[in-house]
Amino acid sequence: MTSPLYESLARLLTEQRNPMSMDLDALSVPEILRLINAQDKLVPLAVEREIPYIARAIELIVDSLKQGGRLIYVGAGTSGRLGVVDASECPPTFGSDPSMVQGIIAGGREAMFRSQEGAEDRPENGKMEMDRLGVGARDTVCGIAASRRTPYVVAAIARARELGAHTVYLTTNPRSEFNLEVDVAICPEVGPEVVMGSTRMKSGTAQKLVLNMLTTTAMVCLGKVFENMMVDLQLTNQKLVERSKRILTIATGVDHATAAATLEAAGGHVKTAMVMIMAQVPFEEARQRLERADGFVRRAVELR
């Protein structure tokens, strides 16, 4: 007699056999690669169909961040690792506080480097993690689970909802089968994997694309980008120092020496240096303009 879990997995789209890869073990290396590549090309189209839902999720995220709340990703396995990676990239890219976007993975830090498969089956730990983080009404919590059913993630999202947080859920199974109570569900339907059930493949790629969209767009909406350049980056290494000077030269047309001198005068704050140059104002006025413009360089330059 089969178990309820067996029956549940058997129904999931992500657990089905892909008819295009039935002879995978008989193919040559180039043939395998072409097959994987052909299947990967389906992923951006699946994500594109979810843009209306992704946009709604971003509205919630921006609302949270503007109120001083957080975006918290919760996942297990590949899904959890992707959330942690996306969160960890926000501070160096956008100069955000490390607490602003956080990634929580079932099994904790060790699970980032070595599979802790049993951790995903402990719903009580998902609930406890939300309590430990002090999740509340200003936060947005985003569950990430290819299958949708991951107990740790489902429980964490349910607890976050009880605590008043906005809730988002990212899964690669069909919307028609989604049955959780959340504010927004994002369901890019990528179909069965080339290797049955290996959701680190198309599902993982879809999740990474969506996470990129969530945080990048949210940070643009918070004024951390000018035109298409990151301008709130922190000068934590020499590469970022030189990138900041280059951004200044590209955005304002000044030479390298002027960019370097202005960046130093602005205390290493790229946006302030940009406003100093573009509006031809001293440091303090540039700083005040940015404050009045909610951190948007374009608005700060136009202020009088």
For the chain, helix, strand, coil in percent to 5 are 55, 10, 35
Residue type at 13 in one-letter notation: L
Both tokens of 22, joined, read 């039935």
Whether 264 sits among the annotated catalytic residues: the reply is: no
Q: How far is CA 247 from CA 52, 115, 208, 222, 253, in A?
A: 32, 40, 27, 19, 10
Both tokens of 87, joined, read 């969160």
Set 15, 59, 89, 285: catalytic member: 89
Whether 124 sits among the annotated catalytic residues: the reply is: no
In the DSSP assignment, the letter for residue 204 is H
Distance separating alpha carbons of residues 64 and 71, to the nearest angstrom: 7
Distance separating alpha carbons of residues 204 and 165, to the nearest angstrom: 25
Set 120, 129, 189, 193: catalytic member: 120
Closest C-alpha to 269, from 238, 234, 304, 300? 234
Dihedral over alpha carbons 153, 158, 163, 164 (to 10 degrees): 110
Active centre residues (catalytic):
89, 120
